[in-house]
Structure 1
Amino acid sequence: MSRPILLVFLLVILIVTSQFEWRQPLVSDLDATPSLSQKQLQASKREESVKEKIILSQERHIQRLNGIVRNLQLQLVECVGQNGTKNATENYNLDKQFIKLDRKHILED
């Protein structure tokens, strides 16, 4: 009986040691997994910061373009105002000339 007990004991020791050896690589794999997730986390943080920089750059461009549009609108309003004043002055001068011609025509008759 001692021989079968010894064999069982050796078998148990063999199983325990083999499980221990198999689990060590698994533990190192688990250690590697957080480093991979940390790398992925760092990559996603970099990606987010790049996206934020792009958005900020686009916002600055939009603000600059809005300023240019406002400036052009002001210039357009000034041009329309000047053109309106010029047209009004020309119409006034034409009206004066027409009245003079009309008076001359009346006086000649």
Structure 2
Amino acid sequence: MSRPIVLVFLLVVLIITSQFEWKQQLVNEMEAVPNVSQKHNHLLNREEIVKEKIILSQEKNIQRLNELVQSLQQQLVQCRGSNSIVNFTENRLTTNVHEIQRQKIVED
């Protein structure tokens, strides 16, 4: 008779200790969940910061490109202006040469 009592006692002890282990595991898991959430939030914040830095860098590059475009447009306007002056000068010289040649022909 004592043997079944000992077995029942051991069974009860086993059930009680397993309950404590389960509760401890649940507590550990519950403590781990906020840490995971905090890490996830931290990673999201870092990702947002990196995205903002990339956007700022792209905006700076766009600004530089706009400045380069404006500079090239100014150079183009200057080139067109100097080309029109050269063309005007060439036309006057050509006209003068033709007049001189006509005068020579008329004089001969």
Q: Output the TM-score relative to the length of structure 1.
A: 0.77
Residue 20 of structure 1, CA deviation: 3.7
Runs of 4+ in 1 over 4 A off after TM superposition: 10-14
Q: Distance in 2 between matches of 1:23 and 1:16?
A: 11
Deviation at 1:17, TM superposition (A): 5.4
CA distance in structure 2 between the aligned counterparts of 1:63 and 1:102, rounded to whole angstroms: 58
For structure 2, the 5+ residue unaligned runs are: 1-6
Kindly provide the CA deviation profile for residues 30-67 of structure 1, in whole angstroms up to 9, marking residues without a partner as x: 21121012112101211110121111111111111110
TM-score by length of 2: 0.78
Tell me what 2:93 maps to.
Answer: 93
Identity over aligned pairs, percent: 54
- Report the equivalent of 2:54: 54
The alignment's C-alpha RMSD in Å is: 2.5
Question: Counterpart in 2 of 1:19?
Answer: 19
State the number of aligned residues: 107
Aligned to 1:4: none
- Mark the runs of 5 or more structure 1 residues left unpaired by the alignment: 1-6
